[in-house]
Structure 1
Amino acid sequence: MDRQRTRAILGFLLTTLVIVSIGLVSSGVRRDACELQVRHVLECDLFTVNGLVGSEKLSFFQDEDVIEEFALRGLTVTVRSAGSRTMACDGDLSGYDFAFPGSASAAADVLANAQVTGEPVVIFSSPLVVATFEDVAAALPPGVASADARTFDVARYLTDVFRAGKRWGDLTLDGPYPAFQRAILLSTRLDTSNSAELFLALASAADSGSPAVPAPNVSAQTEWLTELFRAQGSTGLTSDEPFDQYLSAEGYQLPMQVVYEAQFLDALRTGSGDLVTTVTGPDGTSYESRRLMLYPTPSISSDHAIAPLTDRGRMIAEALTEDEDLRRLAAEHGFRPAGDPAAFASVNEELGFALPEVPGPAVSLRPNGEWTGFMNGVIDGVYGEDRAGAACT
């Protein structure tokens, strides 16, 4: 039987230590947890829990405060990142206690492929946003970016920029932006990443005029949506790769991309994303670019859900849904905790982030067989034999 030993260490001063052993027996495994009345005086041998997570959640699990909150429950969590759409096909799911992709459907695929009975547990959500620069937004054709620099009209972008074949140089855009490249709204790879699937659904809904995806005529959209992704060229396998470049001094090379709201807010909170970048051009001219987050219309959100693969994985899901401190920490990292909108609102008010309401209409993605077949057709058209392992074969 796998047992957890808990040790109490007495300090030089009289201290009150409380050890709470919670015998939660499931499949013959006893779980012990420890609770500190005086922190850093009690030391615990912890359960190690292994997880496979979307890259946008790495900073959350690496946060020292998050690590400490899990330790109070007798847990130490080790995570590795992967694209949400490849998790179900990971060659060794038996080595993980939970998977934490960017959608409930991806979590359900993990459970099915691992032959584990149960349902995904939605932990938090995050809307898709457009990460760009103020001067880029101002240079777009009228109506694509709103005058108040808050929203991004996807249908107008598709008509006036993408289908019109605009290049960055056509937009009378000063600065070091890649003038000869097409003015493309970038995403991650559709064969690996959940955020790219959300972008596909967003573009499909904007084109059909219906927030319900898949639309009745979705197969008719295959050709041009294939081009929408093919035109992007080589992009990131996971959501953090292109976003990290956007935050760097070379961010102007990726002037416009879809990311999770949580990524942008977390970068602002930690200071890893300086809003202003100054770049010196080849002629010695300095250009100042200010980063900007726009909410697309229509909108679409991701439900980040855990697929518990073991009892320990279920303990992580329980902690993230039940623990008020962990929900608040998730909000600090930009996520919207499920069932707790007050936590997100409170944190952003304290941080001084004046966020608008997510605009409507909200796209409703039904990941049924028709949608999967359509998306696989687009993926094959874009990547062909270079397709990553998003489909388990």
Structure 2
Amino acid sequence: MPEHARPPSVEEPRLATRRPAAPRRRRLPRHVLAALPLALAGLLALLVSGNALRPFERITTIDGKMASKSDFFKDPQVRRLLLKHGIRVEIHRLGSRGIATQSLAGMDVAFPSGQPAARLIMQRQQRTVKSARPFVTPLVLGTFREYAQTLAAAGVARPQQVTGGEDTLYYDLDMRKFLRLIEERKTWNGIGYEKRSERSNSGRVLVRTSSVCESNAAGTYLSILAFVKNGNQPPGSEPRPKGDAAGSGDPVLDVAAEVKPLINLQGMAADEQADSYFSDEGESIAPVSLIYEHQFLAHQVAHRERHQRQDTRRVLLYPSPQALTEPQLISLGADGDRLTDLMETDEELRQRAIELGFRVRFSGENGTSEQLNAYLRDHHVQVPVPNPDQTKADAPDLDALERIINHVGSCPPAGKGGVS
């Protein structure tokens, strides 16, 4: 066949193949990228502080019956500090005297707010126990400025001197003169309150206390009253001064009979007085309330931080003679030993106690105030001045105090306690 007659050759079609596309990288969402630096910083902080593995460590729960100083162990920063040592404290709140008289079965520690209850607890133990007295705090009367000024004008209280021209937050109270106002049934208006306030108060001059049957604060206040009424000596330690009425023939019960009207008139309550005093309605609840110094100082520091000023409406009355309360943490077992050791040796816990208004013990002293004073100055809170009259109201011995408390409070049998 001629070449020109051949059909044209057709080239086979070529299939075009595409090179597989490289897999696309998945991009992290922007919010994840933004959070990464914070997460890394948090991890580094945990590593540096030694807390990175904390969730995997064993945490020991320590059960304790505690009175008003349980507030220390409720503090969030204290809880964090204890967790660093693998300890969590479970609080069973009860009054100091209730702790001393009720069963402590199942408890690792007891933490009464003062020495009388602590001594009762120690006497009940069948073994040598560890204990710690990490800080002290004076018993005080919380009131409001116009009431304190009224007492000062009546010659019953004296304002502490301050520099800089600001109003004082602190007054020294003569307990003998103050008790005379109560005994003579004086009213606030009767001693000049209306002259210093836009309001009126025809109510009696009284102090609102917690129950003497339950509370260390009320028991300590009772000791002050008994000390004053017994000629500045603890009942039962010396013969009654000449000229005093004989009464029952029992010097201890004679003093108890004199003191009972002063306490019963004051409306004993089972609740914590500081909660009422620092509430918005505190002045309406009671013009004068029994509290501890550390509660007032912690309130002033917190008020300064929130409002950039002191709470000048509330002021303190320091009774003279004075009473210093010594809370005691008592171990009831091996786990309790760990906690008492920490309370005595851990510098961070001691510093936090100062920040909460306590006078922390140093070098075996009864109480060191300079560290607390320095902290108050740094936070622009007025520092209280020691009263020149340093008379201390010595408490009666345990037996005498128990008899006075039972007589004044008509207390129920041991085994039923409340809070404070």
Shorter-chain-normalised TM-score: which range? 0.7 to 0.9
State the AA in 2 paired with 1:129: V
Counterpart in the other structure of 1:122: 133
Q: Partner of 2:14 in structure 1?
A: none
| Aligned counterpart, 2:260 | 226
Give the 5 Å matches for 1:293-312: 293-312=316-335
Determine the C-alpha separation between the residues in 2 that align with 1:374 and 1:14. 58
Is the Cα contact below 8 Å between 1:83 and 1:192 reproduced in 2? yes
Structure with more of its chain in strand, by fraction? 1
Q: What is the Cα deviation at residue 366 of structure 1?
A: 4.3
Query: Which deviates more from structure 2 when the two are superposed, residues 320-329 or residues 148-157?
Result: 148-157
Matching of residue 150 in structure 1 with residue 171 in structure 2: yes
Q: Contact conserved, 2:68 with 2:113, CA < 8 A, in 1? A: no
Does residue 197 of the first structure (1) align with residue 219 of the second (2)? Answer: yes
SS at match of 1:146: strand
Please say which structure displays the higher CA radius of gyration: 2
Distance 1:13 1:268 in 2: 34
Match in the other structure for 1:290: 313
Q: Which residue of 2 aligns with 1:181?
A: 203
Pick 1 or 2: higher relative contact order, CA cutoff 8 A, min separation 6: 2
Q: CA deviation at 1:178?
A: 7.7
Distance apart, 1:12 and its partner CA? 6.6
CA contact (8 A) 1:188 1:236 kept: yes
CA contact 2:174–2:319 (8 Å) conserved in 1: yes
Partner of 1:102: 113
TM-score by length of 2: 0.73
The amino acid of 2:256's aligned partner reads T
> Which of 294, 298, 307 is equivalent to 1:266?
298
Match of 2:406 in 1: 376
Kindly report which structure 2 residues correspond to 1:33-52, keeping only aligned pairs within 5 A, or say none.
Answer: 37-43=48-54, 44-52=57-65
Task: Specify whether residues 322 and 298 from structure 1 end up closer, same or farther in structure 2 by C-alpha distance, changes over 3 A only.
Answer: same
Q: Shift of residue 107 of structure 1?
A: 2.1
- Contact conserved, 1:111 with 1:309, CA < 8 A, in 2? no
2 CA distance for matches of 1:155 and 1:49?
44
Partners of 1:306 and 1:176 in 2: CA distance: 46
RMSD over aligned CA atoms reads: 3.2
Does the alignment pair 1:255 with 2:287?
yes
SS at match of 2:81: helix
Q: Does residue 245 of structure 1 match 2:266? A: no
Secondary structure of 2:386's aligned partner: coil
Of 368, 380, 385, 1:356 maps to 385
Deviation at residue 365 of structure 1 after TM alignment: 1.9
Give, in whole Å, the separation in 2 of the partners of 1:167 and 1:356: 29
Summarize the Cα distance change of 1:14–1:138 in structure 2 as closer, same or farther, 3 Å threshold. Answer: closer
Q: Deviations over 1:56-80 (max 9, x none)?
A: 432x212222112111212111212
Secondary structure of residue in 2 paired with 1:365: coil
Q: Give 1:374's aligned amino acid.
A: I
Q: 2:187 is matched with which residue?
A: 167
**Unaligned residue ranges in structure 2 (runs of 5+):** 1-38, 161-169, 241-250
Query: In structure 2, do the counterparts of structure 1 residues 352 and 139 end up closer, same or farther at CA, with 3 Å as the change threshold?
Result: same
> Which residue identity does 2:96 align to in structure 1?
S
Question: Given the superposition, is the C-alpha separation of residues 36 and 199 from structure 1 closer, same or farther in structure 2, using an over 3 Å criterion?
Answer: farther
Rounded to whole Å, the distance in 2 between the matches of 1:206 and 1:143 is 18
The whole-number CA distance in structure 2 between the counterparts of 1:351 and 1:98 is: 34
Q: 2-side partners of 1:386 and 1:166: how far apart?
A: 35
**How many residues were matched structurally?**
344
Deviation at 1:136, TM superposition (A): 0.4
Q: Report the secondary structure of 2:193's partner residue.
A: coil
Distance 1:127 1:12, change over 3 A: closer
Residue 77 of structure 2 corresponds to which residue in structure 1? 65
SS across alignment from 1:155: helix
Identity of aligned residues (%): 23
Secondary structure at 2:213's aligned position in 1? Answer: coil
Q: TM-score, normalised by structure 1?
A: 0.78
C-alpha distance after superposition, 1:216-249 (max 9, x if no partner): 335222222111111012x3325xx222111122
Unaligned runs of at least 5 residues, structure 1: 1-10, 18-34, 278-288
Q: Which secondary structure state, in structure 1, belongs to the residue aligned with residue 351 of structure 2?
A: helix
Q: Which amino acid aligns with 2:128?
A: T
